[in-house]
Amino acid sequence: METNQKKSVNFLRGVPAQEALEKVMPAVLKGYETAVLKYGTDVLQYGHFTGFKPLRDIIGSLHGVDSNRVVAGNGGLEVISLFFKSLPKQSLILVEETSYDRVLIDAMRYGHRLAGVPLTPDGVDVDRFAKIVNTMKPNAFYGIPFHQNPTGITYTKDNRKTVERICRENNMFCIWDICYQILRYDGKANDSVEISDWGPVIASSFTKTITPGTKCGYIIVPQSYVNHFTQVIANTRINPNLPTQGFIADFIQSGQYDQYLNYLTGLYRPRMDALNHALKTHFPGAFPCDIAGGFFAVLAFPNILKENETAFIESSKNNGVSVASAWDAVAPDFLDDMQKKGLFIRLTFPALDPESIEWGILKLKETAEVFKL
């Protein structure tokens, strides 16, 4: 927040806190130096398209799978995109009614078709999920089970397991994007996702847990899919950024990663508390529930209809709060209905201090009040 000028808060950018990046900077600096000294020209020369072996080995053992199923790439989005690219053309992909916008857009750009499934505070609506699977026979489901982007909900274990069972029984991929799994700030830990030979496919990223600029993510695919998938990667790019992967391998192995995660959860907890408090105070009863981690929450404004959307966003900006509609995050077949229910925005909180969050939510409430008249 700028204090000596007009106050302002930007709820748009889902980025790590600036102070977190400054905190990790010395370790990153040293880490790259160590990686080049330790691995030498191996991290400077062309390498294997599945990523840096020492990092894949670490990821494989963390998830209890053979490292030949692990592909380490330049971020979560890249490996998910490669996976979509590997699917048959015009595949039908089931997605949550609201999801990570870039993933939806990327899937459609490959020519895949999307169908949405409703979300509840416990995960997807499993009855609807089963019905859609039976009638539409999708090739894959993509979901974000922990601190979902954008709603912030976390699936219950039962819900997640039911989804996995339906996918397995129907011979479709279940792709879990678990990039927020370890980013839980309420003192509890999320379950881990067990991986068998069939799947589920797991995608994750070190963007939010180390830094976005170093850009590293990974995906774990079924054993039977390794050959086809790696061929698609080999035809797309050669190796990913190897010094980054060398640095991250050592960062994890030395225990610094866990220490940094502890710091991050401590930093983000009061921000999350401020968000929950402000939402409860100013927007009581708004879906979904308490935010327990991750980067996002959503807010719906039933009184701001399509024709008032631009005016509301403009007015909110004039009051110092930057927000935008989150329509890109909505599954295409849910869009019409959702738009009829009023404006829907995504809020992000980790990069904002608690006071700014409280102030920003209050301003949003005040702006919305004016539009009620």
Ligand X SMILES: Cc1ncc(COP(=O)(O)O)c(C=O)c1O
Q: Can you give the binding site for ligand X, defined by CB under 6 A?
A: 14, 75-77, 100, 144, 149, 177, 179, 205, 207, 212, 217
Cα torsion 38, 263, 320, 323: sign: positive
Min CB(75)–ligand X separation in Å: 3
In the complex with ligand X, which residue's Cβ is closer, 76 or 152?
A: 76
In the complex with ligand X, which residue's Cβ is closer, 149 or 244?
A: 149
Min CB(206)–ligand X separation in Å: 7
Cβ 152 vs Cβ 294: under 8 Å: yes
Cβ 53 vs Cβ 101: under 8 Å: no
Q: Which two tokens stand for residue 51?
A: 């990523």
Phi, psi of 115 (to 5 degrees): -135, 140
In the complex with ligand X, which residue's Cβ is closer, 100 or 173?
A: 100
Min CB(87)–ligand X separation in Å: 18
Min CB(228)–ligand X separation in Å: 22
Rounded to an integer, what distance in angstroms lies between the CA atom of residue 185 and that of residue 266? 7
Min CB(237)–ligand X separation in Å: 14
What amino acid occupies position 182?
Answer: I
Rounded to an integer, what distance in angstroms lies between the CA atom of residue 85 and that of residue 87? 6
Min CB(203)–ligand X separation in Å: 7
Q: Which two tokens stand for residue 296?
A: 């996002």
Farthest CA pair distance, the chain:
67
In the complex with ligand X, which residue's Cβ is closer, 212 or 222?
A: 212
Rounded to an integer, what distance in angstroms lies between the CA atom of residue 94 and that of residue 356? 37
In the complex with ligand X, which residue's Cβ is closer, 100 or 251?
A: 100
In the complex with ligand X, which residue's Cβ is closer, 249 or 368?
A: 249
DSSP state of 329: G
